[in-house]
Amino acid sequence: MRNKLAISILCACLGAGTLGATVPLIDAVNTQTAVTLKRGEFDVAVSAYDGGGLLNRNILGVHDNVYLGVAFDAENAIGENNARFNIPGVLGKVKLTDGWQDFPILLAVGYDAFYAGRRGKAQNENPYNRMILGPYFTVTKPIYLFGQEQHLHTGIRTPIQPTYTPEDTELYFGLDFPIGQFVPIFEIQRVFFDSNRLKETLFNVGLRFDFFDHLAFEIDFMMGIGQKTNRMIVFEYLDRF
């Protein structure tokens, strides 16, 4: 009886994702999509990453195609070591188009934080200005396989804060395919324009769960050849004024 009840609840939760809106996928695992918020909506996300760090992202939809926000980052926030707070970073995204009825495609430009995790911090004279940020251009294309909608993401971004490093300009690619309220995410990032840096490429996997149209929980893994896996836990809340 208990097993039947658990299965019924699980099916109801998975099926509910087709009935109403869920938390939009503003980011993939560690890169940006072309999705924005509707006007008046706000989204708050907290990511716990390796080394006890916390990244807090807060954004507000000021237009259906524009959002603005701010990111706070604290290294060693959890654990025995002393916490180190980085200078907050400004966030923003402008969606340029939704495409056409017979060819939907989202194009967006924005400014955001890069590389969640301890390895994503720049070596800088100011120990409180290590969070990497910069502009990006990104594309999101809906595709339809097996009677379901999936989304391809690709883009390019350049870090300019705290220092401009054009050699670290990267391409990224992602895919998410919602299954009810469960959203697996696959991502390839840090594809540099230098064949000698192939070992720096990251292969990321995210497992996202949406609850009650307002809450999302995500477990992420960022992996690379010969690199230690960075694990992240993300809690996200969406609502509107």
Tokens found for residue 102: 């017979």
Q: Return d(Cα 203, Cα 156) in angstroms, integer.
A: 16
| pLDDT tens, position by position, 16-57 | 333 334 578 999 999 999 999 999 999 999 999 888 889 999
The answer to whether 220 and 205 have CB atoms below 8 angstroms apart is: yes
pLDDT in tens, 144-195: 888 888 999 999 999 999 889 999 999 999 999 999 889 999 999 999 999 9
Given a cut of 50, is residue 11 above it in pLDDT?
A: no
Give the number of domains in the chain.
Answer: 1
Q: What is the pLDDT of residue 12?
A: 39
- Predicted confidence band of residue 5 (pLDDT cuts 50, 70, 90): very low
How far apart CA 1 and CA 64 sit, in angstroms, is 47
Task: Indicate which CATH number applies to the domain containing 142.
Answer: 2.40.160.40
Alpha helices (runs of H) in the chain, residue ranges in sequence order: 2-16
Mean pLDDT score of the chain: 86
**Residue span of the structural domain in which 102 resides:** 2-240
pLDDT of amino acid 212: 81
3-state DSSP call for residue 198?
A: helix
